[in-house]
Each structure stands twice: as C-alpha cells, then as structure tokens.
Chain A
Amino acid sequence: MPDPLLYLKATGVAAIVSVAFALAMTRARRCVSTSWLNSVSVLGLSLGLGSGYYVLSLRLAWPPANGLDRFLTIVVPAALIVELLAGFQRVPRWFAWTLRMSLVVAIPRILVHGSVYLSDAGDWTIWQAVWTMVVCSALLAGTWCLLAWLYRRSPGVSIPLALSLATQSAGLTVMMAGYIKGGAAAFPFVATIMATAMTMKLLNRRMSSSETNDGALENVPIPATIGIGLVGLFGCLFIGLFFGRLSSGNATAMLVAPLLCWTTETPLFRHRKPWLVGSLRLALVAIPLVIVLAMAKSKFDREMAPLLGNAAEMRHEIFVGQ
C-alpha cells in the first residue's frame, strides 16, 4: 500500500542530509576548487540517496534479485562513481564522456539481466532485445548530451530542477500504474538532486570568485546533478516500463520532457533575465508532465482504485463489465 507519510519522510531526510553535508564541507574549507565542489555534490547526493533509501527500507541486495535491486546496487553507484571521476580537473573531457557513454550502453543490459526478456523462451528474440536496448541507450545518450550542451551554453539550476520534476512525475506515474516500490524509489532522487542543485546555487551566490581556486564555480556541480538525475529518471522509467505497466509513450515523453528547456535558447527568450528563463524552462517542462500525470491518474481511477476498496466501482465492474 502506498504510504504518503513515509515518502514525505524519505524525501525530507534525503534533502536534509544532502544539504547538511554540502554546507558542512563548504564551511570546513574556505578555499574551494572546482573538482572539490564536484566531489562534495556527488558525495552529498550519495549520502542523501542512501539515507532516503534507508527510510524507504530499500536495501542494497547482493546478488541483486530484480530490476530495482540492480538499479540501486549497480547502476546508481556506477553513475555516482562516473560523475565523481568526471569532475576531477585532471580527467580529460573525452575520457569523462567515454565513461558516461559506457554507462549508458550498460544500463539497459544490467536492468533486464536474468529477466524473461533475455531468457531462451522469453518475450523477446535476440534481435528484439538488441534493438530495444540500443534504442533505450540512444535515447538516454541523446538526452544526456543535449542537456549537458544546454548547460554549457546557458547554465542554470533550472536544468537539474527540470530533471527533478520529470523524476517526480515518473515516480508517481509508475506508482499509479501499480508498481509502488519502483515509483517510491524516485522520491529520494528528486529530493537529493533538487537540494544539491539549490545548495550549490546558493553557495555560488554567497562565495565570491576570490574564494575559489579557479573561479569556475558555476560550471562544476550542476553537471553531476544532471548526470545522476538523468540516470535516476531513466532507471525509474525503465523498470516501470519493462517490469511494471508503464506505457512506452508515457515513458518516452517523461524522459525527453527536460529537453524542452532548450526552448529558451530561441532568440525570443535567449537574452531574458535568468530567473525568467529558468521559470519558463520549468513551466515548459511541466506541460507534458502534467498531461502524462493526468492520463495516469485517469487510468488509475478506472483500473486500480477499485482494488483499494471502492466497492461501488467494483460492483459496477462486475455487473456492467470491464
């Protein structure tokens, strides 16, 4: 049974832990470097996610038994490590992107491991399996590259916030489709990405460039939140689609919705004030997400709500037909 209070608690704990860690580390060291800030944001995300999952009783299991276990035990730690390494200044950009793309290729294969999709007498032929994984990886890679490119062109906290919005919608939609645990796994992601991005934004404002070693504060922590946030969104949608009952249309719409942030790169909006650009980005991303959520809610009311005890609807279903 869904437990909104538990989800609220997990969200709160994850956010507080991420923020507290980032603030404590920044206070402990007056002079910060780009890679140090990136490490702080990645470690803050790790701690926030860990505490959120602890509250939700989602434990790391080895060997991981199902898609969600593999997501939490293999994919999320791998994404954190990749983003941690990618943030070091000595790591060349091409190497960081090679690591990211290797992860992108591996994620679908890891998540469907041992399932009916890959078994001999399973749901897919070998070509279907390869094709599906290639399409999923391509979608993830495309979204990742485009968001990173957008960040380079026009950085802003609105990009990780847009990812948080999409992840929140994905979690709720997966839950309403009947996979409660899979949907709940999205909440700590939403909280930590949002909290870390906002904290880094605040720190960015408060710290003068003289306090940093390289004066490139804006460019650093956000890409880590983008990468980890996107992996969180993709993982939630993937397990909802292939192990739950999330439709492929809804999953694709929610994955690519953050790309609507690109709309503000049109000449009409490009040179507006940053707060206006950020607000517009979030509003545009929210439009398809609200539509998907409304459709999911309607389906939930029609199919799942009777199971939760609405006897009148159940009688209607029995006597009038499904």
Chain B
Amino acid sequence: MRRYISLWILTFVIGTTVCGSGKSLLAADVYAYDPIHSSVGFKARHLDISWIHGRFNEVAGKFSLDREDPSKSTFELTIKADSVDTNNKARDEHLRQPDYFDTKQFPTIEFKSTSTKAIKGGYEVTGNFTMHGKTNKVTIVLMGGKEHNFRGTKRVAFSTELSLKRSDYGFDKNAIGPIGDKALIFIDCEGVRK
C-alpha cells in the first residue's frame, strides 16, 4: 500500500512538473504576418506643403506573444523595398533607384525586436530597424493585441506609427530636396497563429 502511495505521489509530482513546463512553453503563441489583412504604409512631406502617401505591397514577418511574460515576446518584420507603391509608376521606379531605396543593393527593410514590455493597451517594443543598409535602434508602441478566433484560427492584431528621418539611414541629402527628410510609417498587422 505504501508503495502504491509513493508511486502515486511520484506520478503526481512528475505530471505537475511536465504540465507546468508545458504550459510555460505554450505560453508564447507564434503568429505569422497575414499579408491579406495587414498593410505597411508611409507618408512623406512634399515641398513642405503636402503629404505623399505610399505603401509596400510585399511584407512578411512573424511574432511570438507571451501574455504571461511579455518581455519574452518577439516581433520581426521584413519589407521588400522593391514593392514600394505610390500610385505612380514612374515615381515608384525612381524610388527604387540608388538615390532613394537602392533596392538592388538593399532589397529589404527590416525590424527585429530586442526587448518588449507591456504597456496599457499594447506593448512597447524596442528593436533594430534596418533600412538602406543602416541599422538604428527604434522604439515603437504597438497598440492592440486583441485576439479573435475566426473559423478555428486564432488571430491577433496590432497597429503602430513610426516616425523617422531618412537622413539617419544614409539617404542622399541632396536627393531629399522637395521630399521631406521626415517620413511616417504606419503598420497595421494581423497575425495568424501558426
């Protein structure tokens, strides 16, 4: 009888440990960027009187979300610079050239998080933003994070705005000219759980 009790206790302890660790492993959900329900847009000043709007049509990424320990959450986004679209074919071609994005040399724009902390209504994510071959540390505020189960697939979404100076990323100062140095990037991202 004593032997059975010992065995039962051992089974309970092992079971609890395994389940506990399993729970912590599963706590971080990994999501893939859903290109159909997401967008990366930008706007830049023109002649300092108006805004030119554009978007990137080819974006990929993934993020892992740990609700219990947000510092373990990670975010990655890769934008194909060649997919720039400002609703003007000639301007898009011009933007792909070395005076601007230089897409043959720097085909992607990337963000990779290095630290994450939870804030009210979302997350504050710090990471490396690489554009035009230059990497700078940026902090973005991801608002949202609400989950939704749609036809058995878990989805979660975030939105953010990022302001940056093109001159900080090695863009030619002479080419900045009529298009302002400052650019605003808007990311609306919906993730599908893998």
Complex Cα distance A66/B107, Å?
A: 12
By the criterion CB–CB under 8 Å, are B174 and A57 in contact? yes
**Min distance, Cβ A292 to any Cβ of chain B, angstroms:** 19
A182 on the interface (CB 8 Å rule)? yes
B2 on the interface (CB 8 Å rule)? no
Complex Cα distance A66/B94, Å?
A: 17
Complex Cα distance A114/B107, Å?
A: 10
**Min distance, Cβ B59 to any Cβ of chain A, angstroms:** 16
The interface-forming segment of B31-39, B98-106, B136-144 is: B98-106
Contacts of A243 in B (CB 8 A): 97-98, 102, 104-105
B5 on the interface (CB 8 Å rule)? no
Contacts of A117 in B (CB 8 A): 104
A232 on the interface (CB 8 Å rule)? no
Complex Cα distance A119/B80, Å?
A: 14
Take A66-B98, A239-B98 as given contacts and tell me if A116 and B174 are in contact as well, using a CB distance cutoff of 8 Å.
no
By the criterion CB–CB under 8 Å, are B99 and A66 in contact? no
Contacts of A115 in B (CB 8 A): 104-105
Complex Cα distance A290/B94, Å?
A: 24
By the criterion CB–CB under 8 Å, are B104 and A181 in contact? no
By the criterion CB–CB under 8 Å, are B175 and A181 in contact? yes
Take A116-B107, A117-B104, A307-B90 as given contacts and tell me if A65 and B97 are in contact as well, using a CB distance cutoff of 8 Å.
no
Pick from B88, B98, B133: contact of A179, CB under 8 Å? B98
Take A1-B175, A1-B178, A304-B90 as given contacts and tell me if A67 and B105 are in contact as well, using a CB distance cutoff of 8 Å.
yes
B3 on the interface (CB 8 Å rule)? no
Complex Cα distance A116/B108, Å?
A: 10
Take A67-B98, A178-B99 as given contacts and tell me if A245 and B93 are in contact as well, using a CB distance cutoff of 8 Å.
yes
Complex Cα distance A57/B104, Å?
A: 23
A210 on the interface (CB 8 Å rule)? no
| Chain B contact residues, majority secondary structure | loop
Contacts of A116 in B (CB 8 A): 103-105, 107
Within 8 A of A (CB), among B128-173: 133, 170, 172-173
Complex Cα distance A89/B169, Å?
A: 47
By the criterion CB–CB under 8 Å, are B105 and A65 in contact? yes
By the criterion CB–CB under 8 Å, are B175 and A303 in contact? no
A244 on the interface (CB 8 Å rule)? yes
Give the total of B residues in contact with A, Cβ under 8 Å. Answer: 23
Give the total of A residues in contact with B, Cβ under 8 Å. Answer: 30
**Min distance, Cβ A285 to any Cβ of chain B, angstroms:** 28
Take A1-B175, A1-B178, A181-B172 as given contacts and tell me if A245 and B107 are in contact as well, using a CB distance cutoff of 8 Å.
no
Contacts of B117 in A (CB 8 A): none
Contacts of A179 in B (CB 8 A): 97-99
Within 8 A of B (CB), among A24-77: 57, 65-68
By the criterion CB–CB under 8 Å, are B174 and A182 in contact? no
By the criterion CB–CB under 8 Å, are B97 and A245 in contact? yes
By the criterion CB–CB under 8 Å, are A180 and B175 in contact? yes
Complex Cα distance A67/B99, Å?
A: 12
Contacts of A68 in B (CB 8 A): 98
Contacts of B97 in A (CB 8 A): 178-179, 243-245
A306 on the interface (CB 8 Å rule)? yes
**Min distance, Cβ A178 to any Cβ of chain B, angstroms:** 5
Within 8 A of B (CB), among A227-253: 239, 242-245
- Besides A3-B174, A317-B88, 11 other CB < 8 A contacts? A57-B174, A66-B105, A66-B106, A68-B98, A179-B98, A180-B175, A181-B172, A181-B174, A245-B97, A303-B93, A304-B94
Q: What are 23 A-B pairs with beta-carbon distances under 8 A?
A: A1-B175, A3-B174, A66-B106, A67-B98, A67-B104, A67-B105, A119-B107, A178-B93, A178-B94, A179-B97, A180-B99, A180-B174, A181-B99, A243-B97, A243-B98, A243-B102, A243-B104, A245-B93, A306-B90, A307-B88, A307-B90, A307-B94, A317-B88
6 closest Cβ pairs, A-B complex: A1-B177, A303-B90, A66-B105, A178-B94, A65-B133, A178-B97
